[in-house]
Structure 1
Amino acid sequence: MTSLNGGSTTADASDRNAASRGLLNRFLNVIEWSGNKLPDPIIIFAGLCALTLAASAVAGLAGWSAVHPGTGETLEATNLLSTEGMRIVIGDAAATFGAFAPLGQVLIIMLGIGVAERSGWFETGLTQAMTTAPKILIIPAIAVIGLLGNIAGDAAPIVLPPLAALIFLKLGWHPIAGIALAYAAATGGFAANLMIGMSDALVQGFTQEAAVLIDPDITTTVPMNWWFIAVSVGVLLPVLWIVTTKVTIPRLGAYQAAEDLDAEDVEIDDVQRRANRWALVALALFAALVVAACIPQGSFLRNAETGSLTTDAPLMNGIGLILALAFFIPGLVYGIRAKTITGSSDVARMMVESMATMASFVVVVFFASQLLSYVSASNMGAILAIRGAELLEGQDGVVLIIGILAISAFVNLFVGSASAKWAILAPIFVPMMMLLGYHPAFTQMVYRIGDAITNPITPMFPYFALVLTYAQRYDKKLGIGTFISTLVPYSLAMGLAWAAMMIVWFLLGWPMGPDGPIRLPAE
Structure 2
Amino acid sequence: MQEAGRSKKPTLFGRFLNGVEAVGNRLPHPITLFALLSLAIILLSALCAALGVSAAGEMVNSKTGEVELQTFRAVSLLDRDGLAYMLTNAVSNFTGYAPLGTVLVAMLGVGVAEGSGFISALLKKAAQVTPRALISPMVIFLGVMSNVASDAGYVVLIPVGALMFRAYGRHPVAGLAAAFAGVSGGFSANLIIGTLEPLLCGITNEAVRLIDPNYTVLPTGNLYFMMASVGLIVLLGTLITDHVVEPRLEAFDGESSAEEEIHSLTARENAALRTAGWILLLMAAGTALLAFPKNSFLRNAETGDLIAGAPLMGGIILIIALFFFVPAVVFGLRSGSFSGEREVCAAMGQAMSAMGGYIALAFVSSQLINYFNYTRLGTILALRGAEALEASGIGGIPLMLLFILFSAFLNLFMGSASAKWTILAPVFVPMFMLLGYTPELTQIAYRIGDSCTNLITPLMGYFAMIIVFARRYDPRAGIGTLISIMLPYSMAFLAGWSLMLILWMLAGLPVGPGAGLTL
When the two structures are superposed, what TM-score results if normalisation uses the length of structure 2?
Answer: 0.94
The Cα of 1:360 is off from its aligned counterpart by 1.1
The Cα of 1:277 is off from its aligned counterpart by 0.6
1:450-489 aligned within 5 A:
450-489=449-488
**Corresponding position of 1:507:** 506
**Corresponding position of 2:427:** 428
1:29-108 aligned within 5 A:
29-70=18-59, 71-108=68-105
Q: Deviations over 1:412-444 (max 9, x none)?
A: 111111111112211222122222222111111
Q: Deviations over 1:463-502 (max 9, x none)?
A: 1111111110011111210121011111111111100000
1: CA distance between counterparts of 2:323 and 2:161? 18
The Cα of 1:263 is off from its aligned counterpart by 5.5
**Corresponding position of 2:251:** 254
Aligned-residue CA RMSD in angstroms? 1.6
Q: 2:497 aligned with 1:498, yes or no?
A: yes
Q: 2:391 aligned with 1:391, yes or no?
A: no
- Which runs of 5 or more residues in structure 2 are unaligned? 1-7, 60-67
Corresponding residue to 2:106 among 106, 109, 117: 109
Amino acid at match of 1:491: S
2: CA distance between counterparts of 1:301 and 1:231? 30
Q: 2:152 aligned with 1:155, yes or no?
A: yes
The Cα of 1:262 is off from its aligned counterpart by 5.7
**Corresponding position of 1:173:** 170
Q: Deviations over 1:342-373 (max 9, x none)?
A: 11111111111101111111111111211111
The Cα of 1:217 is off from its aligned counterpart by 2.2
The Cα of 1:149 is off from its aligned counterpart by 1.0
**Corresponding position of 2:5:** none
Q: 2:297 aligned with 1:265, yes or no?
A: no
2: CA distance between counterparts of 1:367 and 1:105? 17
Q: 2:282 aligned with 1:293, yes or no?
A: no
Answer whether contact 1:112 1:327 (CA < 8 A) is retained.
yes
1:145-294 aligned within 5 A:
145-257=142-254, 264-265=260-261, 267-294=264-291
Answer whether contact 2:152 2:316 (CA < 8 A) is retained.
yes
Q: Deviations over 1:296-322 (max 9, x none)?
A: 111111111121111121111111101
Number of residue pairs the alignment of both structures matches: 501
Answer whether contact 1:204 1:221 (CA < 8 A) is retained.
yes
1: CA distance between counterparts of 2:199 and 2:290? 23
**Corresponding position of 2:65:** none
Corresponding residue to 2:355 among 355, 358, 374: 358
2: CA distance between counterparts of 1:515 and 1:76? 41
1: CA distance between counterparts of 2:181 and 2:488? 10
SS across alignment from 2:72:
strand
The Cα of 1:169 is off from its aligned counterpart by 1.5
SS across alignment from 1:392:
helix
The Cα of 1:503 is off from its aligned counterpart by 0.7
Answer whether contact 2:169 2:255 (CA < 8 A) is retained.
no
2: CA distance between counterparts of 1:212 and 1:430? 10
- Name whichever of 192-201 and 394-403 sits farther off: 394-403
1:153–1:250 Cα change, 3 Å: same
Answer whether contact 2:279 2:327 (CA < 8 A) is retained.
yes
Answer whether contact 1:401 1:503 (CA < 8 A) is retained.
no
SS across alignment from 1:219:
coil
The Cα of 1:209 is off from its aligned counterpart by 1.5
Q: Deviations over 1:492-522 (max 9, x none)?
A: 11111100000111122222102322222xx
Answer whether contact 1:155 1:320 (CA < 8 A) is retained.
yes
Amino acid at match of 1:333: V
1: CA distance between counterparts of 2:514 and 2:100? 37
- Name whichever of 249-258 and 375-384 sits farther off: 249-258
- Name whichever of 482-491 and 160-169 sits farther off: 160-169
Amino acid at match of 1:494: F
SS across alignment from 2:55:
strand
Amino acid at match of 2:399: L
Answer whether contact 1:257 1:474 (CA < 8 A) is retained.
no
Q: 2:133 aligned with 1:144, yes or no?
A: no
2: CA distance between counterparts of 1:89 and 1:395? 43
Q: Percent identity?
A: 44
1:263–1:57 Cα change, 3 Å: farther
Answer whether contact 2:191 2:226 (CA < 8 A) is retained.
yes
Corresponding residue to 1:28 among 6, 10, 17: 17
Amino acid at match of 1:251: R
The Cα of 1:253 is off from its aligned counterpart by 4.1
Amino acid at match of 1:154: D
The Cα of 1:207 is off from its aligned counterpart by 0.9
**Corresponding position of 1:3:** none
**Corresponding position of 2:62:** none
